[in-house]
Amino acid sequence: MPCDPDRTPLVPSRRLLLTAPLALIPSLATAAGSEAWVWLTNPAGDEVRRVYRRGTAWDRAALGAIAVMLRDRGAAESLVIDPRLIEILGALQAGLGFRAPFLVTSGYRAPETNRRLEGAAQRSLHLAGMAADISMAGTPPRRIAELALQLAAGGVGLYPSAGFVHIDSGEVRRWTS
């Protein structure tokens, strides 16, 4: 029976669970001189396609550009984004083949924005620059969530009816809404 990505359970393989977290530690997983990059867009049409790390050296200008991309556009505020979140996004894109940018519908949220959102957690990791709600054209949200679960690097929330995946750099956990 063929595998249907929209019906496949969100269960990571044992091998990937044991080895994938190491891929998020640049000093252990990255050869000197190799590049890690991310490709992001938002509903306003802004786009960032940048190398954010070379080997173990972070590119401060790229991190700034990513922070601006993930800003709270309504409140016109940005915050330093947790590098672990950027690593997770980069690892997900590498796993998906960099076919298209991640559409980020929510990155950093100002406290007032978070209070106005129905159903938003009071202590959301979006408030700390540790979360992003993403989708990718041509890729089912379930596929993104499955890959994120295999990384075992943070929280993964699948919102299939809304068409996005919540990714964060907090504790490893998962949910579907």
Domains of the chain: 72-177 (3.30.1380.10)
SS3 49: strand
Q: Which of 106, 58, 112 is nearest to 86 (CA)?
A: 58
Q: How confident is the model at residue 14 (pLDDT cuts 50, 70, 90)?
A: very low
Res. 28: pLDDT tops 80 = no
Please indicate whether residue 3 or residue 136 has the higher confidence score (pLDDT). Answer: 136
Residue 144 and residue 92 in contact, taking contact as beta carbons nearer than 8 Å: yes
pLDDT digits (tens, 9 = 90+) for 67-112: 999 999 988 889 999 999 999 999 999 999 989 999 999 999 999 9
Residue type at 164 in one-letter notation: F
Radius of gyration of the chain (CA): 16
Tell me the Ramachandran region of residue 34: left when phi exceeds 0, alpha when psi lies from -120 to 50, beta otherwise.
Answer: beta
pLDDT of residue 118: 86
Nearest to 88 by CA among 42, 134, 139: 134
Is it the case that residue 173 has pLDDT exceeding 70? yes
The torsion angles phi and psi of 5, rounded to 5 degrees, stand at -60, -20
Confidence of residue 8 (pLDDT cuts 50, 70, 90): very low
pLDDT in tens, 116-158: 998 888 899 999 999 999 999 999 999 999 999 999 999 999 9
Q: Are 115 and 77 in contact (CB under 8 A)?
A: no
Residue 25: predicted pLDDT = 45
CB crowding 114-124: b at 16 or more within 10 Å, else e = beeeeeeeeeb
Say what the pLDDT of residue 33 is: 62
C-alpha to C-alpha distances, 168 to 128, 157, 158, nearest whole angstrom: 10, 9, 12
d(CA 40, CA 121): 24
Token duo for residue 87:
């690593």
Does residue 40 register a pLDDT over 90?
A: yes
Confidence of residue 13 (pLDDT cuts 50, 70, 90): very low
Identify the pLDDT of residue 31. Answer: 52
Amino acid at 21: P
